[in-house]
Amino acid sequence: MRVVIQRVSSASVEIGGDIKSQIGKGLLLLVGIEDTDSQEDIDWLCRKISGLRIFPDEQEVMNKSLLDIEGEALVVSQFTLHASTKKGNRPSYIQAAKPDVAVPLYESFVKTLSAHLQKTVETGQFGADMKVSLVNDGPVTILIDTKNKQ
């Protein structure tokens, strides 16, 4: 499972001209799922994300977590995070899980993260053509891949 974490002042998802979800200060999480991902990956990742100290403290040092600031989270599925560009100029998405595998894992990720944060996590819509807007705060962008835990 790959996640691009962006610290944001605000973020939103628009589908078909309508705002589906929006958040204020917090994290925009772009999530890519592959066939070999499991609930173990989700549990590890949600613990890591909720405790990641990337928000400034009183001395402007990145020392506070999403939990510490009581921030919000917006989760958007993004299969293109598993693009392979080794051959040619057209990316291959063979590593990305098909919807029958990805949807239940995506839903579990959202539910697990919500439990860790003890609040509702906003989402995009799996498989939809979404317009994602954000104000990246910092900018701070971090990539985590559960295949590289060690």
Cα gap 67→13, rounded to integer Å: 22
**Mean pLDDT confidence for 8-35:** 97
Q: Does the annotation mark 78 as catalytic? A: yes
**Residue 132: both structure tokens together:** 């994602």
CA dihedral of 132, 67, 50, 27, whole degrees rounded to 10: 10
The structural domains of the chain, with segments of one domain joined by +, span 2-145
Mean pLDDT of the chain: 95
Q: Whole-angstrom Cα distance, residue 114 to residue 134?
A: 21
41-76 residue pLDDT tens: 999 999 999 999 999 999 999 999 999 999 999 999
Which is catalytic among the residues 6, 79, 123, 146? Answer: 79
Residue 94 and residue 107: Cα distance in Å, rounded? Answer: 21
Cα separation, 40 vs 44, in Å, equals 6
* 79 a catalytic residue: yes
Q: Which of 108, 149, 150, 145 is nearest to 32 (CA)?
A: 145
pLDDT digits (tens, 9 = 90+) for 131-141: 999 999 999 99
| Cβ–Cβ under 8 Å, residues 11 and 149 | no
Of 6, 39, 59, 80, which one is the catalytic site residue?
80
Tell me if residue 22 is catalytic.
Answer: no
Taking the C-alpha atoms of residue 69 and residue 141, their distance in angstroms, rounded to an integer, is: 18
Assign domain 2-145 to its CATH architecture.
3-Layer(bba) Sandwich (3.50)
% of the chain residues with pLDDT over 90: 87
Task: Give me the phi and psi of 23, to 5 degrees please.
Answer: -135, 165
pLDDT band per the 50, 70, 90 thresholds, residue 88:
confident
Kindly state the average pLDDT of the residues 86-106.
92
Active-site pick, 6, 55, 78, 123: 78
